[in-house]
Chain A
Amino acid sequence: MVENMKKIIVKDFEKCIGCRTCETICSLSHEERVNPVEARIAVAKYEESGWNIPTLCQKCEDPVCVAVCPTKSIKIDPALGPEIDYSRCIGCRLCIMACPIGGVGLNPISRKTVMCDLCGGDPKCVKVCTTQALEYQEDENLSIEKRGENVGRLMKFLQGVNQ
């Protein structure tokens, strides 16, 4: 394996049927209770247009959250990307405000940010996704075509929303 090859969770919102099992398993495995607001992944549901859009931390190479964190509590793990050290996090929510893709959220119980930790490299949400709307892939396998395809879909969706 190439030294700096990374795996990320790839989302395909055209495959997502909106069952929210990813949220359920995420909260259950991290918090020992089922509570979707504490999940590191959230499915944005647009009932009136039938779209379901999973959102989670995309493990950016140049993470804005790291840059804005005043206590330097977001560290970059070489394999897993950004992760939060909760002993340092003061719950200022700056990372939530700054994240341009809505990848992190507020846990209303702990009052701190929740960020996907890829379950330490074996993400459970991917395993329970029955339609493969979530896949755990090596980032370099995401070809130019794949990116083009996704952008095209996003454009189509955004046009639909703006109509």
Chain B
Amino acid sequence: MSGYAGRILMVDLTNGQLKTIPTHDYSEQFLGGRGIAVKLLFDLQPPKRSDATSPENPLIFMTGPLTGTLAPSSGRIDVVTKSPETGLLGGANAGGFFGPELKYAGYDGLVVTGRAPQMAYIEIYNDEVEIKDAREVSGKGVQETVKTLRGADERTQVACIGPAGERLVNLSGIAFGTRNYAARCGVGAVMGSKNLKAICVRGTKGVPITNPDQLQALADQMRERIKTMPSYRDYPEWHHKLFRILESDGKTFFGNYEDTAWKDRFEAYDEAERFIKTAEFRSQTCFGCPLRCWAYINVKGVGGGSIAACQGTLTSLANFPKIKDFNKIWKAYLLMQDFGMDTSGTAAVVAFAMDLYSKGILKDADVDGIDLSYGNGNALISMVEMIGRREGLGDVLADGVKAASEKIGRGAESLAVYGKGGLGLWLMEVRPFKGVALSCAVTDSGSQNRATYGLCEFYYLSMKKSAEKAAQSITGTQDAAIPTKYDHKPALVAGYEDLHILADSLGVCAIPFMPVGLELWGKAFVACTGKDTEPSRLKMTAKRIRTLERLYNIQQGMSRKEDALSNRLFDEQLKDGPWAGEKLDHEKFEQMVAAYYALQGWDDEGRPTPETLKRLGLT
């Protein structure tokens, strides 16, 4: 079975049972990665609905047929489980080097069920799989855990949780190495609930490729396309340029979604640039990727670590809590990474608390003596530690923005901003971007990072022509790119979702997925696996996966009313910035949802129709 490793490893931590199942049983219908993971989650779900942190909830790690091959940007691994934050499907995806190594060891994926009697880790070396005592690293940060378990062998890849995951913090993720995270939806808390501290993998089997020469020629072409992306040259500078890019695209906001024109923002942008330019800085990348999203940054007196140029990192840590002291931001970032936390979700929930504090909803007595004023870098650092350890106010915030708002009460509920199932949104103003709004409501997990990464609405203001071109190719009309229009958004969102699902299922990164184009990814799949396919068939597979995700959520009790965003995005208009006056309109929003359902072949309640199930082979 070329391209694939051929087997999926199943580990039951309750009784220590290990077995493998053939990937082939799933790959024809569900391709790999996210697709197979969703199928396994659906098949393995407990007969009675249970808590995400119960032993029965499967935690699934799955690579795709392109993961670890010569196809560029192929370091991805998808993590799927029931989310403790939303009670619905939870998904997160990570790059780095773990996915490829898992395949070289002979496994396309790993399914973990049960709960170990005490903190344990799984060690995989080819066919040798062992569940070991993790006492040595229990309670330790990600840095020390990875270092200890890796020992002298840099090639051993480690996935682990930090103290936040061990304490079942909903804002905790799973670290792959010391930098890449499957961060969202509380997947770290699920791993913690299984008493699983880490997974170490080393493989020497490799992955067979059906047509090496063809793959080499295709990979050259694909890398060339990535290198000719207009933004390619600038990637290493995005760590500070992103602040201004977000501003020029009109996506930025500050605090708890109340301010798009923070008066100190330009000073903060300048500080970001100074911070990056004066730090020890080395560009890094993920497996097989020319992009260099990552950098190792070291600041004397603060510390060193790797960071991605991404909306979820420096920009989130500065803009949400309105902090401009980058040494403080860097310290908070390193702490979040070591605690194993979702940097964007944590920054958002701290900003939420700061907003409540500024309005007197949280009083001094509620905040453990911390001055929770906007801009206070020390407060961010303290809150990271308290959330990571579930102490004081941190224990309340650790459940995520929606649950925290309900627990705090006193009007906090109406200030919370979230998407489907209560999942916090990332750093992106939603109100003017109707497609983004739709996506945050209807997507599998509420995590827009899994649906519409690179949506053309994002760059409409700064690169109108390219945005229109992308919209044209997906929906047949360039007007679909106009952020504030509701028309054509269902088709636009569904189109991007399909591509995103295919990237996550083939095991490659969503960022270069569109610039390279589906046709070449499809050809690379053929060269790797020897199977036949074409873009239309791949899109059909994406639809199948999308509908199965829906079925899972329905089985978890979801109905149309969960495909929603918090009321504030409908009630409160933007005060300033390029989109002043924008908010969401309930009626038009519901029309988009209905049209989206219709496109997917689901009924008015969002239930896949019998014909759709039959057409997709899901009956």
Contacts and interface: CB of A to CB of B under 8 A. Distances in A.
Interface string B161-200: 0000000000000000111000000000000000000000
Interface in B277-303: 282-290, 292, 295-296, 298
Contact of A25 (B104, B216, B292): B216
Nearest to A13: B282
Interface in A83-135: 108-109, 124, 127-128, 130-131
Interface in A43-66: 44-52
Contacts of A25: 70, 216, 219
B473 interface: no
B70 A28 contact: yes
Considering residues A25, A35, A46, A50, which has the most beta carbons from chain B within 10 angstroms of its beta carbon? A50
Interface residues of B, number: 42
Interface string B120-149: 000000000000000000000001001100
B212 A32 contact: yes
B68 A34 contact: yes
A49 B215 contact: no
A47 B179 contact: yes
A45 B152 CA distance: 11
Interface residues of A, number: 35
Nearest to A39: B206
B304 interface: yes
A6 interface: no
Contact of A32 (B208, B284, B306): B208
A28 B204 contact: no
B290 A130 contact: yes
B209 A130 contact: no
A35 B216 contact: no
Given A17-B292, A47-B178, A130-B227, A35 B207 contact: yes
B527 to A, nearest CB: 11
A131 B232 CA distance: 12
A74 B355 CA distance: 71
A98 to B, nearest CB: 21
Contact of A31 (B206, B227, B295): B206
Given A19-B289, A128-B219, A49 B206 contact: no
B69 interface: yes
Nearest to A35: B206
Given A17-B285, A34-B69, A108 B216 contact: no
A133 to B, nearest CB: 11
B560 interface: no
A36 interface: yes
B154 interface: yes
Nearest to B294: A17
Interface in B212-242: 212, 215-216, 219-220, 223, 227
Interface of A: 14, 17-21, 24-25, 27-29, 31-38, 44-52, 108-109, 124, 127-128, 130-131
7 contacts: A27-B206, A32-B208, A34-B70, A34-B104, A37-B204, A50-B306, A109-B206
Given A38-B206, A47-B306, A50-B284, 19 more contacts: A14-B282, A17-B283, A19-B290, A21-B288, A28-B209, A33-B206, A33-B209, A34-B69, A35-B206, A36-B206, A37-B155, A37-B206, A47-B146, A49-B298, A49-B304, A50-B295, A52-B284, A124-B216, A130-B290
Interface of B: 68-70, 72, 97, 104, 143, 146-147, 154-155, 177-179, 204-209, 212, 215-216, 219-220, 223, 227, 282-290, 292, 295-296, 298, 304, 306
